Structures are given as C-alpha cells and as structure tokens.
Amino acid sequence: MYAVLLVFTSGVTKRILFVGQANGGQIVNRSTRRTFLQQASTVAGTALLGGLTGAARAQSTSELGFMSAVDLAAKLRNKEIGSEELARYFISRIERYDEKLNAVVVRDFDRALDAAKEADKKLARGQVGGPLYGLPMTIKESYDIAGLPSTWGVPEAAQNIAQADSVVVERLKNAGALFLGKTNVPINLGDFQSYNEIYGTTNNPWDLTRTPGGSSGGSATALAAGLTGLDSGSDIGGSIRNPSHFCGTYGHKPTLGIVPSRGQQPPGVPPGAQHPDLAVVGPMARSAEDLALAMEIVAGADILTSPGWRLELPPPRMASLRGLRVALWADDPVAPVDSEISTRVHEIGERLDKLGATVSDSARPGFAAQVYNDTYLGILQGIMSGPASDLKFFDYQVMHGRRGHFRTEWQRFFHDWDVLICPTTATTAFVQDQSDINARTINVNGHQQPYFQQVFWAGLATLSYLPSTVFPTGLSERGLPIGLQAMGAEFDDRTTIEFARLLAREIGGYQSPDGYV
C-alpha cells in the first residue's frame, strides 16, 4: 500500500551482506501491451548535502544508470555528457530490461528527447535552467503530466488523460528535469504490491518472483534497476517507504502538507481539491543527497496557501553521528517483524553507539501502541474505503482529537531524541500474491500474520504527520534488501535525510542488483 553495505575500491562497488562487516512527441501507453532557482544547488549543498556528492561515483558508461541524480546533474552541467545522450541511455536500459520488470508502464520518449535536445542547446550557450537541468527521470503513474494517462490502475479510468501538470511535476520541470514516463501502481494505490488490469504486474529486480512493494513499486523498481535518474511517489500507508525497503533504494515521506499534492488525486477528483488526511507526496532516489535536493525543489506553499504561508524547515540537528540521540523501536507485539529485520535495527544501533551516538532501545513516546494503531487504522480505512466508508464525522473528530494528544507526545519524545529507527514493514520482499486481498497473510518468523497488520510501522509516522526517511542497510541472508525508517519530529525532514546521508558514509548506501549492467 499505498541493503546493502558497500565498500569502494577504485570506483567499483562490492557487495557485503551485513552491516557489521563494514570497512569504512508520440505518447506510448503500454496498456495495449500490458521555478526552482539555480541557487537551490547551493542551498542543498550547504543545508543538506555536506561534502559527499554521491553514494558511489560511477567510473564507466555502464554505471551511469546507478549514479545519484546529484552526480548525473553535475555531469550534465560540466558537459561531461549531454542530456540527449543521457536520455537515450536510460531509454535503452528501459527497452532492454523493462520487459521483465514492467516498471515504466507509460512512456513518453519522444517528448523527453525533444526536451533533452533543447536542454543541450541551452547548455551549449551557457544557460543552465536549474539544479536538475537536463536530467531524465520518471514519476509515479498517479501524478498528472499533461497529455499522459493518470489512471491509478483503475480499469474504468484507462482513458483518463491529464490536462495539466501536477505541482511536483511542474516544479521538477522548472528545476530542469525531463520526464521519460510514468511508473506502475496497484489499483487505487491500495496494496503492498504493484499490479493492475491496465498495466500488469511489476516485479522486484532483486528477485522477479517477488513484489517490489506498493504503491510506488514501479518507481522503486526503476530506480533500483537503473532505468531513471530520479522519481517521486506518494504515501499514506507506506507507499514510498515500503517499496524503497523492498528494492534497496531511498525514499522520503515528508511532514504532512509541506509538499503540495495538487495534481496527484484519483481520477474524477478535481485537481484543486483538498488532498485527504494522512497522504503525502515525496521523492524516491538512489541516495540521500538526491532526496535532499528534490525536497528543496518540491517543498513549499501551493496556490491556496502562498498568500500567507512560507515554509522554513529547521536545519539538521546534527553535523555528525557523534553525540546523536537515537532511539530504536525494533519490534512490537502489535505488528511482529521478522527477526532478521529486528536484528538489523539493533545492529545499526550498535554501530551508532561505536560512532559516539547515544542509543536507547527502550525509549518510547507516552502512549499505548495499540491505541495509536487503532486510531491510525480508523482514519486510514475511512479514507481508503471512499464512498463506501462508514466512518462518521463525529467518530473522525474523536480520532482526530486523540491524534492531537499523540502529536504532543511525539513532540516531547523528540525533545529528548533526535531520530527514531524502526522497521519499514514486517518482512523483506515477499513472493507475489494476487489472491483475495482480504484473505492474504504474510509469514513472519514462521507464523502467518494478517497481511495489513504490517501497516503499523508506516502508521507510526503517518498518523502524527512525522517525516520518515527509508535508507538501505544491507542484504538479508537470502540476498534481499533491508531498509529501515529514520523518523523525526514534525518538520525535521532535513534531520532524517541528513541522518541517512551520514550513515551511508559509514555503512554504504544503494547498490545495484545483479543482472542490470
């Protein structure tokens, strides 16, 4: 709904499984076949990016698909590669690998190449239009791009063509990005998998029999397999975070309301309509640096709030991991997690302790986890049920009032702690299961658990509007990525992203799955 430890030798990425081992214009719809300013680069560099400019600098053309968007944008600015050349490179990768992955399900190659050619002309004249100028990227199918379908995987909406760009798409274009196409989703964005009758099933690049997650599964797959430079998803029940975890990439669920969601609404809902409670849109990428830059581009007031509202996110709480105050929430009876994942939480805690952080595995906010989860599920189910919902306004108001208490308790908690590290979901990527969604289960430590029980871990941040950054930590014993959440206080988006950046320096970040050279 809705890792990878690396060491580097002469620019070559090597795989290590466990954290403890670290050393340092025709539009093609595949349904038939199945003004950010230039200064944003400086702002991101000083406020968020620090000295590291990418998890792994690629040394050959074959590695371009695995570079960070920050590094690719730098190559474009420095004229080490042209925008058209890079666009054709990603298109060739999509054409080579996506038949088995089925991630980029709406393709807009001709318009992307036209935009890339224009970018190259302007770059040749010394004109740079923004920090992502000339960068090819993709985006989740649920975002409106003028002239492309926005179906949310709903068969009845297969012919729904967007008339205008969403706010996020508009801002990314103003920053210089160009769009190769859109990525797959589950019907109504309501699953931990990504399949629908219009576009078919998206597979995980680490194991084609397994889900890439949902609902931004196509986005995470495209990033992991090196089919795109950057992407953006949406999240109400883990839809950015769950796929990032399953595919070994990065994702950021922003504080509620700081990134405009206009133009990312279900078919038939007017683009200017108020987005539902809980839901956010946010970036997905191959590095924390990319998340930081993307947030600088897309965050800020929309047309309804801009007359009297300005966004001023506080700076990161830390300059290093030493002295950082870290709480661990590795498991919970409300939603048990696989022991390999809970162990990974503790391994990260042990590593942080050795680096000089203060770490606690018992610190908790002052509320009962079950009551918190019941409140989240009550609101979530009311939203996801749509017109069929039996949630009464009075009941919603009661739950909303209870949420006010939870937000206060989180505020108190994050007075004493800088970040909370917890699982993203209960297991690593599981085998695709397209049976009756209400009858599904997942295997956790040898026991069958209710399928949607795992949404508890997404709800910890979602109910109380908190930011959460998912970061890769290494691979499981079966060679599947394990990503964890770094949660922070409301509006501490820069803190959770910076934490992920600093941690990648110690344990590594994104790595590519085998078979996508």
Residue 176: CB atoms within 10 A of its CB come to: 25
Single out the catalytic residue among 83, 232, 239, 261. Answer: 239
Q: Which residue has the tokens 């001023």?
A: 312
Q: DSSP letters along 55-109, please?
A: SS---SGGGGGGS-HHHHHHHHHTTSS-HHHHHHHHHHHHHHHHHHH--EEEE-H
Write down the H helix ranges in 273-328. 288-298
Q: CB neighbours of 144 closer than 8 A, spacing ≥ 6?
A: 150, 162, 163, 164, 165, 166, 169, 263, 264, 271
Q: What is the dihedral of CA 411, 415, 417, 422, to 10 degrees?
A: 0
- Verify whether residue 79 is a known catalytic residue: no
In sequence order, what are the beta bridge partners of 54? none
Among 402, 421, 423, smallest CA distance to 363 is for: 421
Residue 8: CB atoms within 10 A of its CB come to: 14
Q: Cα 164 vs. chain centroid, distance in angstroms? A: 24
- 5 membership: H or E segment, kind and range: strand 5-9
Q: DSSP letters along 383-425, please?
A: HHTGGG----HHHHHHHHHHHHHHHHHHHHHHHH-SEEEEESS
Residue 440: CB atoms within 10 A of its CB come to: 17
Single out the catalytic residue among 68, 83, 166, 215. Answer: 215
- Verify whether residue 140 is a known catalytic residue: yes
In sequence order, what are the beta bridge partners of 29? 106
How far apart, in whole angstroms, are the C-alpha atoms of residue 393 and residue 399? 10
Single out the catalytic residue among 31, 41, 83, 140. Answer: 140
Q: Cα 51 vs. chain centroid, distance in angstroms? A: 23
- Verify whether residue 215 is a known catalytic residue: yes
User: Burial of 280 by CB count in 10 Å (0-12 exposed, 13-18 middle, 19+ buried)?
Assistant: buried
User: Burial of 364 by CB count in 10 Å (0-12 exposed, 13-18 middle, 19+ buried)?
Assistant: middle
* Cα maximum dimension of the chain: 63
Angle between helices 288-298 and 493-507 in degrees, nearest 10: 160
- 179 membership: H or E segment, kind and range: strand 178-183
State the amino acid at position 319 in one-letter form.
Answer: A
Q: Which residues are catalytic?
A: 140, 215, 239
